[in-house]
């Protein structure tokens, strides 16, 4: 029985689901850059970014939220306004920047410039109290750092030519530190797993790769523990054309002759439609060696991510649902024992409790799996998943503990894809 396969997939699937879907790179030269400067009015921001999705007020601060306009980004971008002037922003979209400006003109803007949305009537702007000494030097408009929503994407970034004004002698709220400007990250972004044993429709593409390891306390019908390892990489472009994922698995990691004594080579052809829909066909262990009991398992699968809230940093922001049909290990235990060449339905549901934490229920065609998955370091695509296999006892001899870890990385620089 392919018992070790289920534990192994717990390591591989977290990276397969979204690792590439949120990959970011420096903006290609042909893309337009949207630059928001401190001191701009809401009307000037709308002229660049369009109408905001929504607004939120918190004391003297107003937050304007905008769709990030990026298929590979999560959450909404937002701009922070105070006294009818921009004082900061946070952008997930790598083609948007916020930069420091020269000293802000203390003259109140026209009332129409202060409207947060085109449909909102203009309002008079309060006159900021700025001393003559501050008008002659770069000024800091301190903002309570606790009032800014927790970041859910890249740190504030700026165009390369943005000037770097001198730091003030005191900055108790740390706003100047929050404006430590840099280019967007060029590595993968981790999200929790949405499946433990069943494959999902998302996969790695050109330039992306992953490595994972899994351990289970005992295998089916034995008291022996075991482990496995996987190394995979992607080819092609899943958004524009189609992606191909290739994964090599070593099943004999802790017992038998050691690593690589038994294993298999698996393939998945996948296509993503934005970051919420994906379809794939695959063949697990299309090539195997060493007498592996995992078997050959063809399948077809679709995955959809339901965005429950626009901001990924909010609790219960997304649910991922997977449904597929396959042969091999996806058959019922009775069909496997009788060697009947049938197909069976499998599926999984993953609920994102918080941005780095999810719970998952997974029916792999034989039995129920359930567990918790965490991506503890957002900018490091490292995912840990732990749970129980064969909970209902319809396959095997009772529930078994499984735990896994996976790490994603790039094997090509961004300009290759």
What gap in Å lies between CA 97 and CA 26, rounded to an integer?
A: 12
User: What CATH code is carried by the domain that includes residue 224?
Assistant: 2.40.160.40
What gap in Å lies between CA 45 and CA 199, rounded to an integer?
A: 43
Determine, yes or no, domain membership for 225.
yes
Indicate if 243 and 340 belong to the same structural domain: yes
Q: Is 293 helix (H, G, I), strand (E, B) or coil?
A: coil
- DSSP state, residue 317: -
Determine, yes or no, domain membership for 224.
yes
Q: Is 416 helix (H, G, I), strand (E, B) or coil?
A: helix
Indicate if 287 and 389 belong to the same structural domain: yes
> How would you write the pLDDT of the chain (417 residues) with one tens digit per residue?
444 444 444 434 443 333 333 333 333 344 567 889 888 999 999 989 989 999 988 888 899 999 877 766 667 889 999 889 998 888 888 788 888 766 666 778 888 889 888 777 655 444 333 333 323 333 333 333 333 333 333 322 333 333 333 434 444 444 443 333 333 333 445 789 999 999 999 999 999 999 999 999 888 888 888 888 999 999 999 988 999 999 999 987 766 667 778 889 999 999 999 878 999 999 999 998 887 777 899 999 999 999 898 777 789 989 999 999 999 999 998 898 898 999 999 999 999 998 899 999 999 999 999 999 999 987 788 999 999 999 998 887 889 999 999 998 888 765 444
Domain that residue 384 falls in: 208-416
How many domains, the chain?
A: 2
**Residue from 216, 235, 227, 233 nearest 252 by CA:** 227
Q: Are 46 and 118 in contact (CB under 8 A)?
A: yes
pTM above 0.85?
no
Determine, yes or no, domain membership for 188.
no
146 phi/psi in degrees, rounded to 5 = -70, -20
What gap in Å lies between CA 121 and CA 353, rounded to an integer?
A: 39
Query: What's the distance, Cα to Cα, between the start and end of the chain in Å?
Result: 40
Determine, yes or no, domain membership for 274.
yes
């Amino acid at each position: 029985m392919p018992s070790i396969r289920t534990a192994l997939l717990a390591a591989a699937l977290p990276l397969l689901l979204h690792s590439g879907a949120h990959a970011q790179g420096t903006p290609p030269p042909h893309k337009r850059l949207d630059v928001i400067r401190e001191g701009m009015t809401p009307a000037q921001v709308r002229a660049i970014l369009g109408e905001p999705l929504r607004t939120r007020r918190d004391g003297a601060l107003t937050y304007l939220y905008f769709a990030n306009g990026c298929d590979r980004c999560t959450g909404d971008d937002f701009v922070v306004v105070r006294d009818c002037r921009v004082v900061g922003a946070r952008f997930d979209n790598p083609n948007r920047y916020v930069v420091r400006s020269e000293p802000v003109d203390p003259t109140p803007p026209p009332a129409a410039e202060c409207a947060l949305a085109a449909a909102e009537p203009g309002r008079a702007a309060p006159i900021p109290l700025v001393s003559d000494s501050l008008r002659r030097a770069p000024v800091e408009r301190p903002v309570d750092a606790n009032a800014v929503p927790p970041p859910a994407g890249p740190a504030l970034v700026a165009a390369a030519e943005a000037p770097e004004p001198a730091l003030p002698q005191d900055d108790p709220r740390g706003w100047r530190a929050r404006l430590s400007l840099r280019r967007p990250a060029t590595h993968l972004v981790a999200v929790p797993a949405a499946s433990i044993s069943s494959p999902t429709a998302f996969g790695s593409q050109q330039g992306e790769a992953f490595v994972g390891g899994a351990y289970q306390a005992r295998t089916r019908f034995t008291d022996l523990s075991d482990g496995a390892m996987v190394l995979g990489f992607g080819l092609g472009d899943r958004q524009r054309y189609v992606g191909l994922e290739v994964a090599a698995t070593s099943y004999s990691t802790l017992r038998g002759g050691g690593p690589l004594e038994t294993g298999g080579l698996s393939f998945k052809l996948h296509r993503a439609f934005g970051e919420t829909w994906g379809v794939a066909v695959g063949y697990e262990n299309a090539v195997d060696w060493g007498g592996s009991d995992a078997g050959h398992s063809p399948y077809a699968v679709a995955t959809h991510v339901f965005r429950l809230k626009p901001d990924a940093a909010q609790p219960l922001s997304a649910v991922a649902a997977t449904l597929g049909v396959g042969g091999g290990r996806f058959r019922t235990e009775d069909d496997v024992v009788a060697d009947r060449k049938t197909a069976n339905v499998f599926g999984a549901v993953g609920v994102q409790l918080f941005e780095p934490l999810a719970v998952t229920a997974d029916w792999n065609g034989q039995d129920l799996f359930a567990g918790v998955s965490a991506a503890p370091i957002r900018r490091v695509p490292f995912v840990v998943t732990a749970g129980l296999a064969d909970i209902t006892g319809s396959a095997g001899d009772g529930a078994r503990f499984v735990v896994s870890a996976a790490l994603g990385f790039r094997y090509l620089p961004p300009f290759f894809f």
